[in-house]
Amino acid sequence: MIDLPKHKGQRKKLVEKLFSKGIRNKRILNAIYSIPRHFFMESDFDNYAYEDKAFPISASQTISQPYTVAFQTEKLDVKEGEKVLEIGTGSGYQTAILIHLKCEVYSVERIFELSRKSKKILSKLNLNARKLVWSDGYLGLKDFAPFDKIIVTAASKEIPPELLNQLKINGKMIIPVGEINQTMILIEKKGLNDFKKTDLGLFKFVPMLKNKV
């Protein structure tokens, strides 16, 4: 697993593609250029790693499409040093992008095998999350709350109330909500029970399921 010059060329093209689709945040584009996405994929799909597509990983899950990763990260407006909770570690790719952006990242994954694998890959790349936890993301991470930002990378039927509780006042959460197609929703917590919700369009995600396995 080495980062060949060809991958850098492919990543540069991917960055150009994301720019053409409207991603403008330079730090995010630089993170996409810097993080070797092929490390987070099954080796059979190595050649597709820098296409702007979601791909299967283990346990019937997917690595999110780079555009979706960049879009969610951009809308969440993450800043250096912020405490960010990610629900759905999956491959660890989104986690890596957030770490590259110098956030304090807490990430939760319900499937043990994926939690273990992503931990291994991130440590191999020397990308240090604050916590990678095998747990049910519906519960959030009470012991480490509140968070400045929360990013959910699996589709939920409703907005999990515990995640709203664990968000700081003036914090933001981004979450795809719905069953077959999902609407990306940006939530801003204005007060303890005061949430502003903005609809950001349709996306497709694997479902958020209850209980760890």
Residues lying near ligand SAH in the complex (CB under 6 A) are found at 61-64, 87-88, 90-91, 93-94, 108-111, 114, 136-138, 153-154, 206, 208-209
Residue number, 48 or 190, with CB nearest to ligand SAH: 48
From the list 64, 107, 115, 156, the catalytic residue is 64
Q: Answer whether 122's CB lies under 8 Å from 128's CB.
A: yes
Smallest distance, Å, CB 1 to ligand SAH?
Answer: 17
Output the smallest distance, CB 153 to ligand SAH, in A.
Answer: 4
Q: Which is nearer to ligand SAH, 22 or 56 (CB)?
A: 56
Is 64 annotated as catalytic?
Answer: yes
Phi/psi at 58 (nearest 5 deg)? -65, 170
| Smallest gap from residue 6 Cβ to ligand SAH (A) | 22
Contact indicator for 149, 85 with CB cutoff of 8 Å: yes
Q: Strand ranges (DSSP E) for 139-209?
A: 147-152, 167-177, 182-191, 194-203
Minimal CB distance residue for ligand SAH: 90
Quick one: CA torsion of 153, 159, 160, 166, rounded to 10 degrees? 80
| Nearer to ligand SAH among residue 110 and residue 149 (C-beta) | 110
Supply 94's token pair: 């989104």
Cβ at position 175, least distance to ligand SAH in Å: 12
| Smaller CB separation from ligand SAH, 158 or 194 | 158
Cα(134)–Cα(195) distance, integer angstroms: 29
Residues 155, 157, 162, 168, CA torsion sign: positive
31's CB contacts (< 8 A; 6+ apart) are 73, 97, 100, 101
Active site residues: 64
